Amino acid sequence: MRQLQQRWPIAVLLFFGHLPFLMLLWVALAALLTVITAVLALFVDISVSVWDHSAALLRWMALFYGTYLTRELLTTCVMHGRTRRAFTAQATLFVLVASGVLAVLMALGYALEHLIYNLMGWSHTFIDDRLFDSLNIPLIIYSWWGLYAVWTITGAFIGAALRRNDVSPVLAIVLGIVLLSVLGPITGMGDLPFTDRIYDPQTTSVGSAIGLSLLAFAVGAAFTWLLVRNIPIRPRIR
Amino acid sequence: MTSRIDLEELRLRYEDTTAVDRVTCHLEGGKIYGLLGRNGSGKTSLLSMLAGFIRPTSGSVLVDGQPVFENPRAVSRICLIRDSGDVGDQSDTVRTVMEIAQVLRSTWDQEYAERLLEKFKIPMRKRVSQLSRGQRSALGITIGLASRTPLTIFDESHLGMDAPSRALFQEELLNDFMANPRTIIVSTHLIEEMSTLFEEVLILHEGRLLLHEDTDTLRSRGAAVTGPADQVDQFVFGMNVLAERRLGRIKSVTVYGELSDLHRRQAENLGLEMEPIALQDLFIHLTGAVEESR
C-alpha cells in the first residue's frame, strides 16, 4: 500500500477517498428512489423505471464532480508538490475506472428494481432513447459507464477553463455542450434537454458505439489536458 | 536537507503588466530568507514561479540545479503556503485536509502536524470554512511546517493571526529549522516582528530585485541614535535622516549611511545610545527612495 501511495498518490487519494463517497451517494440515491417509487405507487400505476429516469440528475452530478476535480482538487495536488501531468494521468484513470464501478452499481439498481417490479406486477420500461429496452446488464453497464465517463471528463474540461483567466468561461461551456451533444448520445443517454439528437444509437452496432464512447472520452481528456498542462495555480479568493 | 535556489533573468508578464522583471539571484540554501516588498511588488508571483505554480514568461528557476515547472522531482521538494490557504477544499474538515497531505506528501510528519494543531488550538473535526481567518492561516502554517520539504515557503501565511499565534509560529519555525535544517523563505509585511528570523533579506520593488543582502550587513547601513533632543540634533546634522521619534526631551533618530569610528566616539562623548537600524525603517527608505528618484 505504501509503495502504491508513493507511486500513485493522487490515484490512491481518489480511489480510497472519493470512490467510497461516490458509492455512498449511490446507496443514498437507491434509498431515495425506493421511497419515491413506494410513494408514487400509492397514487398512480407504476409503468416506467424510476431508476432509469434518475439519469437526468446523475449526469449533472457527474458533470459537477468533473468541474470539482480541475477547479479544486488540482490546486490541492499542485500545492502538495504534484505535477499537472501526474494529476491528469491519475485522475483520468480514476474517472474511467470509477465510472465503470458506478455503472455496475447502476446495473445492480436496475436488476433490483426489475425484481421488485416483477413482484408487484408492474411493467418495467425504459426511456425510448436507451440502447437497451429490457434488462440487458452488459448494455446497461456500457451505457452508464459511457455517460459517467464522458460527462465527468467534460466537467473536468469546463472546470479547467473556469480556473484559467485566459479562457472565456462562456466559450468553455459552449465547447462542453458541443462535446456532450456530439459524443454523449452514443451511449443512448446523453441527449441534452436543449439539443436534438444527432446520432441514432439504434442503427449502430454495440462494438462501434463502445469504440465511439472511448473516442469521446479520449477527446474530452485531450481537451482537458490542453487546458491543464500549464494552468496557473492562482490563490483562491475566499 | 536544504535546497539551493538559482533564479536567472526571471520574468513574468500578465497581458500588459510585468509582475516580475528580470530577477536574478542565487540562494545557497540552509537559511531562513526574508522576502520583503510593498503590495504589488511581485512577491507572490515570484514565489509562485519558484514553487512551480506558474510558468515563467522567460528566464529560469532552478532548485538544486533542476528546473521546477512540471518537474516531479523538484516540486515534491517544495511547499509554498500562500495567504489564501490553498490547503484544501472549504467543505473539508481539518482531519480530511491532514489526510490528503499525508497521502500526497512523502515527507509529511503527521505526528508533528497533530502537535501543531493542538498548539494552535485548531479542532480536527471543524470544516475549513468554519475556521476563523487566523485559524485558517495557522492551518496553512501547520501544513507548511509538517511538510518537512527541503524548500518551504510562507507567503504572508500569518495574515489574520493574533500576536500570541504569530509568536508561536516564529518559535516553531525556528525550533523546527534548528532540528530539521532546510531552506525557508518568509514573505511578510510585518518586517520588524519577523526580522529576527532572517539571515538574509531580499527586497523586491515593482517586480525587480532591489536588494539581496545579509541581514547584519543590511542593519549596519545605518543606526538609530537616541538621547537628549539637542545632542541628537547636533549629532545627526548633515546626515541622511530616515525617521524621527520624540518622547519629551528624548529623541530617537534613524540615520542612513555607514557610520565611522569617529562618529561612534562622538556619539559616546555626547552620551547618545546607538543601535542597529530598524529593518522596517530601512525598507521604507529604500522602497520610497526608488520612487522619489523617478
Of B44, B53, B147, the CB nearest to A78: B53
Distance CA B120, CA B107 (A): 22
ipTM comes to 0.88
Identify whether the C-beta of residue B106 lies closer than 8 Å to the C-beta of residue A6: yes
Determine the average pLDDT of the residues in B223-250.
Answer: 88
Q: How far is CA A226 from the centre of its chain?
A: 21
Residues 29-58 in B contacting A (C-alpha not used; CB under 8 Å): 44, 48, 52-55
Which residues of chain B does A233 touch, with a Cβ-Cβ cutoff of 8 Å? 48, 53-54, 86
The set of cell numbers assigned to A128 is: 425510448
Tell me the pairing of strands B5-14 and B17-27.
antiparallel
Of B77, B86, B88, the CB nearest to A235: B86
| A104, A185, B285 from A135: Cα distances, Å | 13, 20, 79
Task: Quote the percentage of chain B above a pLDDT of 90.
Answer: 67
Distance CA A127, CA B75 (A): 49
Using DSSP, state whether A68 is helix, strand or coil. Answer: helix
Distance CA B242, CA A128 (A): 81
Distance CA A210, CA A212 (A): 5
The set of cell numbers assigned to B126 is: 471543524
Which residues of chain A does B90 touch, with a Cβ-Cβ cutoff of 8 Å? 238
Distance CA B70, CA A78 (A): 9
Residues B126-167: tens digit of each pLDDT:
999 899 999 999 999 999 999 999 999 999 998 889 999 999
Residue of A nearest to B80 (CA): A79
Which parts of chain A have pLDDT scores under 70?
55-56, 182-204, 236-238
Q: Give the per-residue pLDDT at A193.
A: 54
Distance CA B82, CA B155 (A): 5
Which residues of chain A does B83 touch, with a Cβ-Cβ cutoff of 8 Å? 235
Identify whether the C-beta of residue A228 lies closer than 8 Å to the C-beta of residue A67: no
Determine the distance in angstroms separating the CA of B103 from the nearest CA of chain A, rounded to an integer: 6
Determine the distance in angstroms separating the CA of B82 from the nearest CA of chain A, rounded to an integer: 7
Distance CA B139, CA B5 (A): 26
Determine the average pLDDT of the residues in B5-33.
Answer: 94
Determine the average pLDDT of the residues in B61-88.
Answer: 90
Start-end of H helices in A46-184: 50-53, 55-68, 74-79, 84-120, 137-163, 169-183
Q: Give the per-residue pLDDT at B206.
A: 93
Start-end of H helices in B148-220: 163-179, 191-195, 215-219
DSSP symbols for B157-172: TTTT--HHHHHHHHHH
Distance CA B207, CA B43 (A): 8
| Range of A177-191, B215-229, B279-293 with top mean pLDDT | B215-229
- Give me the residue label for grid cell 500526497: B104
Residue B202 has pLDDT above 60, yes or no: yes
Which residues of chain B does A10 touch, with a Cβ-Cβ cutoff of 8 Å? 104
Distance CA A58, CA A179 (A): 18
Determine the average pLDDT of the residues in B192-220.
Answer: 92
The amino acid sitting at A80 is H
Q: Give the per-residue pLDDT at B160.
A: 87
Which residues of chain B does A79 touch, with a Cβ-Cβ cutoff of 8 Å? 53, 79-80, 86-87
Q: Give the per-residue pLDDT at A4.
A: 82
Q: Which of A123, A109, A114 is nearest to A48 (CA)?
A: A123
Question: Which of the pair, B263 or B79, is modelled with greater confidence?
Answer: B79
Distance CA B171, CA B197 (A): 10
Identify whether the C-beta of residue A140 lies closer than 8 Å to the C-beta of residue A132: yes
pTM to 2 decimals?
0.88
**Exposed (0-12), middle (13-18) or buried (19+): which is A232, by Cβ within 10 Å?**
middle
Of B75, B80, B82, the CB nearest to A83: B75
